[in-house]
Amino acid sequence: MRPIATTRSAAGIPTGLLAVWWVLASEIVIFGGLLGSYVMYRLAHDAWAAQAEATNTWIGAFNTFVLLTSSLTAVLAHQAAEHGDGKLAAKRLYYTCIGAATFIVVKAFEWTTEIQHGMTISSNTFWSFYYTAAGLHALHVIAGAILMLFVAADAAKGRELHRVELIGIYWHFVDIVWIFLFPLLYIAK
Amino acid sequence: MADHAAPAEVHHHVNYVRIWQILLALLVVSVLGPMIGIKIVTLITAFGIAVVKAYLVAKNFMHLNVQPRYVVYILGTALVFMLLFYAGTAGDVMKHAGDNWHKVYVEPSATEAAPHH
Amino acid sequence: MAEHATPHPAHAHEAHHEEGWVKKYLWSTDHKIICFQYMFTGMFMALIGGFFSYVFRMQTAFPGVEVPFYGLVSAAEYNGLITSHGSIMIFWVAMPVLIAAFGNYLIPLMIGADDMVFPKINRLSYQIFLLSVIVLLSSFFVEGGPFGGAWTAYPPLSASGAYNNTPLGSSLWLVAVALEFVAFLLGGINFITTAMNSRAPGMKLYDIPIVVWFIVIASILFMASVGPLIAGAVMLFFDQNIGTGFFDPARGGDPVLWQHLFWFFGHPEVYVVLLPAIGITAEIITTFSRKKLFGYKVVLNTAIATAVLSFTVWAHHQFIAGIDPRMAHIFTITTLLISVPIAEMMFVFIATLYGGSITLSTPMLWALAFIGEFLIGGVTGIFLGASGADIYFHDTYFVLAHFHYTFFPIAVIGTFAGVTYWFPKMFGKMMNETLGKLHFWITIIAFNFIFIPLFILGAAGDHRRIYDYQNFPQLAGPEYFFLREMATIALIVMLLAQVLFFVNVFISLRNGKKAGRNPFKSNTLEWQADSPPPHGNFAELPTVYRGPYEYSVPGRADDYWPQNAAS
């Protein structure tokens, strides 16, 4: 049972949407701190280039493709929800979750290979950052996908369709973080 | 993978599929960039394109252009604080020496990550 | 759950009247109950933190002597005690009581809403907070004891169990702090969204009471500054447990990075706790001097300026840590600058009091004491903000006395001010004024006798975090120990005086005079609800017609004018 407070919108946008923007602001600061620290270290340690050579640019690019496409399905889901079509929105959200799962599976293979070749989290501080940053991102992918499943389940029944936009915005943010992680870890080595 | 709906029939919606295609093209460019071998080109393609991609996603997928202005200010402020953090910290962490000081540490050798897990 | 038939009139909550005790008090989503959960937990932790301060001060003043109710204090235990005291007081007392408790209680009531916008997330945030409490308390019972690397947790000391001798405690501490951050991030988003969106019809931005503004600004400040430290905490946890070298110079890491990550949050954090205390003071001063706040917009803009500036001063904690001296120049200037807006707020309070019809009730005494004591804390900060002077003062008791003269007013005086002021609203009973005033005077006088000696000792060279000054011949003279003993005895007196407060609460709850809706004749909306407010807060959600400080308006019969009064 929702309090009346939740239904008011003195700031001009619905409370859920307002809250999601604040969540993003806090996440910008978390990832910003981590990635900023990485950049400082990377610029201080030219020797890391030797380590960074070993990241697999093609896998990284493939994962980027997967996430970008999942962002497309997410925004198309939002479009469907705007038109009131809960079932279509849910279907597109499920596609987005499939994208998330693909991303995680690919990353699991990628990391397994790297670890087997001795590039573990504690082998060199470059790899420490690599696993920590990508790992934190991956946690957000997983959490986002789980939330998305709940939103999709509701949407399929025609309920809480406004949440499709909200989980979509969160998902786009996760995508944007990867858009910056990809060049940092895979291209500008 | 994507369910390609017909391009948006409502006029004020941008065509999401078109944006996606642009994003993928940019991805290709950013992967090819380092192959040219010139460092500055790599940096521009890598990070310049990242900024452009992020902008496209933010504007078109997150609809930041139709949100009330203060939302952009909230997110922008968070970003500015991160730049501030970087500016205040990099002077110590990124450099090896400064005004009357220098760092004394041993750079772990590049062979440290030899495969012995 | 009952469906709403019409939007505005009160909810029909017949279903809730049959709630069991557990659902009503432990599983509630009502913001008022969640306030009490935070407040009681915070006060419980304050007792623990206060006890620890008693123990380590006894050791400092009477080294090697068995401490009554504790025993002998070993050097390792000493480190654990001071680390726990600092961490507990900041993260598990000041923040939950000032922000989570008062924020939860006041925000919906003062903006004329029936609850927070996300009541279930509100409940979840308390539960995560409670989990952090349990994790922290569990660290007292593991092998090695609680973390002993100081609340600032600088690596390599905090990263290596071999150095700090508390490997388990260190990781538990880090997990507890991380959980507490998550709880406050969740809670903060709730507060900000509620205040932005759920205001009563007619309540424009400048009609919001200052305490609500300040708690919201504090929440934003917390959220914007904690990110890098969360990243740093993850890195430190990995350094502690899986052998990474983020902060290990031998592995290419840099301990100074941790310091930057920590203080980038650590400095705004002190303003995070300061702003609610100032907000509480503003509410009390206006009510008990029957006067408008001297410059509402000025105070508001000053708070925002302070919040922004607080992001530019952090490295003054690192002046002698080996940062680049050019940075030290910049941070000196910004640190000295930040004293200006705070001083301005103090002037606004004085101007508000001037010419007012002042009642020296217990809440008013606390509010006035806040201003006076915090001023002392603030001006002593100027010595520390100048990097040249700080070379001498850093890590001495002068710093400690400075931050206790700021933190104590914030966490203790601010809390008592708020509790004595809103107790009638929260519980429907008036507090005993005599007991309240006695508690006030003993606490304040004792507090000054604790920390003025510490200023003197610090200026004389007493290092911080020293287990036994007998190891430092130049600091072991009888005049030094006399001051330490004075501070310790004053601390014991002050701690014992808190019994008066709890006695007051107890007898007021049982036999206190019944409080009406608005015993202090205040304007803000919480006083228009019943005392205590029912679930849903208002029988009919109010509409607002004016600002919160319309006191002594000429031409009106009453010297106050509630925000929702139609005429």
Contacts of C279 (CB under 8 A, 6+ apart): C209, C210, C211, C212, C213, C214, C215
Question: C515: helix, coil or strand?
Answer: coil
The half-sphere exposure of B61 on its side-chain side, counting CA atoms within 13 A, is 32
pLDDT of residue B79: 94
Cis bond before residue C156 (omega within 30° of 0): yes
CA distance A24 to B74: 9
pLDDT, greater one: B51 or A46? B51
CA distance A106 to C324: 43
Contacts of C409 (CB under 8 A, 6+ apart): C277, C369, C370, C373, C374, C377
What CATH number does the domain containing C72 carry?
Answer: 1.20.210.10
- Confidence class for position A6, pLDDT limits 50, 70, 90: confident
Burial label for C178, CB within 10 Å (0-12, 13-18, 19+), is middle
Distance from CA of C456 to the nearest CA of A (A): 39
Q: Considering its fold, how many domains does chain C have in total?
A: 1
C307: closest chain B residue by CA: B81
Q: Is residue A160 part of a domain?
A: yes
Q: Which H or E run contains C470?
A: none
Q: Is residue A174 part of a domain?
A: yes
Q: Is residue A11 part of a domain?
A: no
The answer to pTM > 0.90 is yes
CA distance C402 to C373: 10
Cα dihedral angle (C201, C202, C205, C208), rounded to 10 degrees? Answer: -80
For A125, the closest of C108, C194, C252 (CB atoms) is: C252
Question: Beta partners for C488?
Answer: none
- Give mean pLDDT, residues C81-102: 97
Backbone angles phi, psi at C71, to 5 degrees: 115, -165
CA distance C281 to C258: 35
Residue C323: its chain B contacts at CB < 8 A?
Answer: 91-92
DSSP state letters, C236-304 = HHHHHHT---TT-GGGT--HHHHHHHHHHHHHHHHHHHHHHHHHHHHHHHHHHHT---TTHHHHHHHHH
Contact predicate C403/C377, CB 8 Å = yes
Backbone angles phi, psi at C540, to 5 degrees: -135, 125
Give the pLDDT confidence of B43-90 residue by residue, as tens digits. Answer: 888 899 999 999 999 999 999 888 999 999 999 999 999 999 999 998
Residue by residue, what is the 3-state secondary structure of C404-469? HHHHHHHHHHHHHHHHHHHHHHHHCECCCHHHHHHHHHHHHHHHHHHHHHHHHHHHHCCECCCCCH
Q: Is residue A45 part of a domain?
A: no
Q: Is residue C566 part of a domain?
A: no
For B89, the closest of C251, C260, C325 (CB atoms) is: C260
Give the pLDDT confidence of A130-189 residue by residue, as tens digits. Answer: 999 999 999 999 999 999 999 999 999 998 899 999 999 999 999 999 999 999 999 877
Structural domain range at position C155: 32-528
Q: Is residue C27 part of a domain?
A: no
Give the pLDDT confidence of C433-491 residue by residue, as tens digits. Answer: 999 999 999 999 999 999 999 999 999 999 999 999 999 999 999 999 999 999 999 99
Interface residues of C toward B, Cβ cutoff 8 Å, are 224-225, 227-228, 249-252, 254, 256-257, 260-261, 264, 311-312, 314-315, 322-327
Contacts of C490 (CB under 8 A, 6+ apart): C446, C447, C449, C450
Contact predicate A55/B34, CB 8 Å = no
Question: B2: helix, coil or strand?
Answer: coil
Distance from CA of B41 to the nearest CA of C (A): 28
Distance from CA of B111 to the nearest CA of C (A): 13
Backbone angles phi, psi at B101, to 5 degrees: -145, 160
Contact predicate C316/C385, CB 8 Å = yes
- Give whole-number Cα distances, A52 to A31, A114, C451, in Å: 20, 12, 53
Look up tokens 């310790």; give the residue: C488
Structural domain range at position A158: 60-189
Q: Is residue C106 part of a domain?
A: yes
CA distance C517 to A115: 66
Q: Considering its fold, how many domains does chain A have in total?
A: 1
- Give mean pLDDT, residues C97-122: 95
Choose the mutation target among A42, A122, A128 for the interface with C, i.e. most C CBs under 10 Å.
A128
- Give mean pLDDT, residues C38-52: 97
Interface residue A37 vs chain C (CB under 8 A): yes
The half-sphere exposure of B27 on its side-chain side, counting CA atoms within 13 A, is 24
CA distance C524 to C293: 13
Contacts of C292 (CB under 8 A, 6+ apart): C286, C352, C549, C550, C551, C552
For C114, the closest of A3, A9, A13 (CB atoms) is: A3
Residue B77: its chain C contacts at CB < 8 A?
Answer: 224
